[in-house]
Amino acid sequence: MPKTKNIKYQRVRTLPNVIIRETDEAPGGCPWQSFADNRRTILELGCGKGEHSIGFASAFPDALCIGVDLKSHRLCSGGQRGLELGLTNLFFLRARVERIMDFFREGSVSDIWLTFPDPHPKQRGIKHRLTSPGFLEIYTRLLSPGGTVHLKTDSLLLYTYTRDMVDVWGGNILVSTRDLHGGNPTGKGARDIVSAFEAKALKRGDTIKYISFTLNQEAP
């Protein structure tokens, strides 16, 4: 492990706003559970360094914002930045998306953000796409009535796949654009935060795709 990553791996375990759960460790005991009731809860899955979660926590001080990722060194960057900014409504969680229900009650999340997840372009990787049916089932359980899923991606494959999956699952596409930063104001709220990854994609000339949608409460 590179020296910088190793330092962050050790440091992240000391940050009060980062929750580490090992695979064999019992869930529960998350600090947000004591004050999550009656608050808008925004969950970012695959948050990386947490740039979107930090932006949400800054923009919505009354909301509870939680970024989830598996990479400890990335969570360390987000956790440290959150502390520097004094964001008491921001937390990070190291956990697999497949186990996210261990940490949240059903119907407790207002918004789920998927920010530039791996598109898994090969056939054998389809089930790992964060908008495949197995994950949509998890989101259906997590979301409160009327709750929204948001996807930002530079992958046309993942964007079109997600549109198709919403149709198959059953839901309502609220906003859908193949060029989030184009002249059309559609998806304006999603343009307010630009991560380092997103900035690099734009510099390459890539367009950012965005889709937001609700899901039917019953699986097809």
Among the residues of 60-179, which ranges form H helices? 72-84, 133-142, 156-169
Give the whole-angstrom CA distance, residue 167 versus residue 148.
15
Contact (CB, 8 A) for 18 and 92: yes
User: Which positions are catalytic?
Assistant: 118
**Residue 185 neighbours by CB distance under 10 Å:** 8
Contact (CB, 8 A) for 192 and 152: no
Residue pointed to by tokens 């090969």: 122
DSSP string of 153-188, one letter each residue: ES-HHHHHHHHHHHHHH-EEEEEEES-TTSSS-TTG
Q: What angle do CA 104, 194, 95 make, to 5 degrees?
A: 25
> 18 Cβ partners below 8 Å, 6+ apart?
12, 75, 76, 78, 79, 91, 92, 93, 94
Give the whole-angstrom CA distance, residue 87 versus residue 85.
6
